[in-house]
């Protein structure tokens, strides 16, 4: 876990335990290196991956809001010739994934354009429900489903060797459990879920006005989905930038009362399945 925070990076003394970088996860499946989202945590991952170059990786973007792409212009391996990246994103925005990543690097926002990055890159825009196989041996299966977020978002299910990881971020819950996300998460060994808010924050009873319609969920809805889908381990992801380490710990504690096998995502955490 290289970035577990939502909306905006939050460095400082009150976020050092869980981390302040935005969304980025590294998944190793067989011989495949899979990267989920390119928030500011991607910069840290890139520094580590320099040791493995030349390298090939498959990158899946949930969507292209800033906190999920901000790290890409600072991803060192993307500037090095001989590295190869396959980038996937959903057909859910007005521009393609390639156009959006290039757009944040356009003048005057950034001094180096996407076309000046030295690594080989291929872009693929995914349709909802499409299944792709990736990896050197083409033996890792990745399935997607749409979540519930302004401008759209994709959730991903990664399967390899009988093990399953599901990544659902930036998806607001309905009055009932979303059947598409339940189907995607069924039987997952690990479910990474956007539990940005407490129920009180979501309803506007704490920390400002209501967050309804903002495209994020609570730990309660994450626990409900974990139960319904028969998940083994729930990871609370996308911590609100206003949540201190103490507040995230309390969110984790409350979630464990509903689903005991729950952990709050922490930068640097490694889970081996």
Across the chain, where does the E strand assignment appear?
25-29, 32-36, 56-61, 84-90, 120-126, 131-134, 140-146, 154-160, 163-168, 190-194, 234-237, 262-264
- Confidence check: pLDDT of 90 > 90: no
Residue 11, domain member (yes or no) = no
Q: What is the mean pLDDT of residues 93-101?
A: 79
| Tokens at 78, concatenated | 């993307």
pLDDT tens digits along 172-223 = 998 899 999 999 999 999 999 999 999 999 989 887 888 988 889 999 999 9
Indicate the pLDDT class of residue 25, thresholds 50, 70 and 90: very high
Residue 116, domain member (yes or no) = yes
- Confidence check: pLDDT of 38 > 70: yes
Domain region containing 166: 25-264
DSSP string for 170-228:
S----SS--HHHHHHHTT-SEEEEE--B-HHHHHTSSSSS--TTSS--BHHHHHHHHHH
Q: Are 62 and 94 in contact (CB under 8 A)?
A: no
Q: Are 228 and 188 in contact (CB under 8 A)?
A: no
Residue 18, domain member (yes or no) = no
| Tokens at 10, concatenated | 């939050």
Q: What share of the chain is helix, strand, coil (3-state, %, to 5)?
A: 25, 25, 50
Indicate the pLDDT class of residue 93, thresholds 50, 70 and 90: low
Q: What is the mean pLDDT of residues 251-266?
A: 98
Whether pTM > 0.85 for this model: the answer is yes
- Confidence check: pLDDT of 46 > 60: yes
Beta bridge partners of 168: 193
Residue 6, domain member (yes or no) = no
Tell me what pLDDT residue 3 has. 98
Whole-number Å distance between alpha carbons of 247 and 148? 25
Tell me what pLDDT residue 153 has. 94
Residue 143, domain member (yes or no) = yes
Residue 19, domain member (yes or no) = no
179: CATH: 3.60.15.10
- Confidence check: pLDDT of 94 > 80: no
Helix axes 219-229, 245-258, angle to 10 degrees: 40
Residues 6+ apart with CB under 8 A from 26: 1, 2, 33, 34, 35, 36, 45
Whole-number Å distance between alpha carbons of 192 and 168? 6
Number of domains in the chain: 1
Residue 15, domain member (yes or no) = no
Tell me what pLDDT residue 136 has. 95
Q: Are 24 and 41 in contact (CB under 8 A)?
A: yes
Residue 10, domain member (yes or no) = no
């Amino acid at each position: 876990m290289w970035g577990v925070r939502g909306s905006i990076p939050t460095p400082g003394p009150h976020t050092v335990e869980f981390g302040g970088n935005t969304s980025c996860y590294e998944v190793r499946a067989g011989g495949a290196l899979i990267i989920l989202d390119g928030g500011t945590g991607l910069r840290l991952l890139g520094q580590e991956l320099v040791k493995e170059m030349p390298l090939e990786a498959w990158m899946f973007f949930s969507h292209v809001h800033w906190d999920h792409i901000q790290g890409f212009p600072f991803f060192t391996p993307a500037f090095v010739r001989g590295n190869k990246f396959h980038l996937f994103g959903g057909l859910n925005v007005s521009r393609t994934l390639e156009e959006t990543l290039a757009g944040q690097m356009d003048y005057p926002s950034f001094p180096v354009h996407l076309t000046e990055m030295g690594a080989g890159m291929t872009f693929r825009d995914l349709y909802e429900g499409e299944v792709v196989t990736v990896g050197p041996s083409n033996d890792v299966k990745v399935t997607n489903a749409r979540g519930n977020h302004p401008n759209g978002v994709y959730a991903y299910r990664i399967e390899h060797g009988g093990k399953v990881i599901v990544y659902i971020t930036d998806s607001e819950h309905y009055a009932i459990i979303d059947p598409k996300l339940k189907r995607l998460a069924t039987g997952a060994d690990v479910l990474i879920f956007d539990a940005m808010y407490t129920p009180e924050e979501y309803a506007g009873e704490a920390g400002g006005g209501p967050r309804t319609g903002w495209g994020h969920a609570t730990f309660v809805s994450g626990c409900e989905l974990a139960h319904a889908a028969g998940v083994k381990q729930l990871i609370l992801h996308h911590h609100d930038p206003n949540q201190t380490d103490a507040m995230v710990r309390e969110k984790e504690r409350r979630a464990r009362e509903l689903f005991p096998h729950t952990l709050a995502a922490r930068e640097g955490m490694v889970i081996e399945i």
